[in-house]
Amino acid sequence: MRNRGDGWWSRRDNNGGFSLVELLVVVVLINVILAVGYAFYSFGTRAFNVGEAQSNVQQSVRLASDHISQRLRHAFEVQILDASYVVPEKEEIDEQFNYIFLNDDGAIEHRYSDGSLILLGGDGAGAQATSLEFDINDVSD
């Protein structure tokens, strides 16, 4: 018959301490749990940062699109110029003219007589335009 104190969990000297093996097992288990927790935390942080960057780019594109649409909607006359046209500096622009173009830095720029406004790109948000296209639709019937 076994005594209650027999087995691997019993202490031979009954000093009330833990053995080195038990301490090592606990340390290893804690490290595994911490490593798994850090992996989840790291993955969640990366996913959040990617989502935030995509959201910022989408918001920038939406704002640029809205600005261009509003300017075109209220324009008296619209001319689409070819890529070889050199846009004048803001000091040289007549008050009645506005230019919306893709500048050398890959940013969509709205240049007018009172100043210049970068609509998309150049802000470090990761948004950079590669092309700027307009379709001509004759809506007069």
pLDDT digits (tens, 9 = 90+) for 11-42: 555 567 889 999 999 999 999 999 999 999 99
**What's the CA gap between 40 and 80, in Å, rounded?**
51
Q: Which comes out higher in pLDDT, residue 8 or 31?
A: 31
pLDDT digits (tens, 9 = 90+) for 70-93: 888 888 888 878 778 888 888 888
Q: Which comes out higher in pLDDT, residue 58 or 4?
A: 58
**What's the CA gap between 60 and 126, in Å, rounded?**
10
Q: Quick one: pLDDT at residue 51?
A: 95
Report the alpha-carbon angle 108-109-114, nearest 5.
165
Q: Quick one: pLDDT at residue 9?
A: 56
Instruction: Name the band, by pLDDT with cuts 50, 70 and 90, for residue 94.
Output: confident
Q: Provide the edge-to-edge strand list for the sheet that holds 115-120.
A: 98-102, 108-112, 115-120
Mean pLDDT (whole number) for 98-112? 83
pLDDT of 66 over the 70 cut: yes
Q: Quick one: pLDDT at residue 64?
A: 85
Residue at token pair 């790291």: 42
**pTM of the complete model:** 0.58
**What's the CA gap between 5 and 60, in Å, rounded?**
72
Contact 91/115 with Cβ under 8 angstroms? Answer: no
Contact 119/132 with Cβ under 8 angstroms? Answer: no
**What's the CA gap between 29 and 119, in Å, rounded?**
53
Cα-based distances in Å from 131 to 51, 101, 104, 107, 120: 24, 9, 12, 10, 12
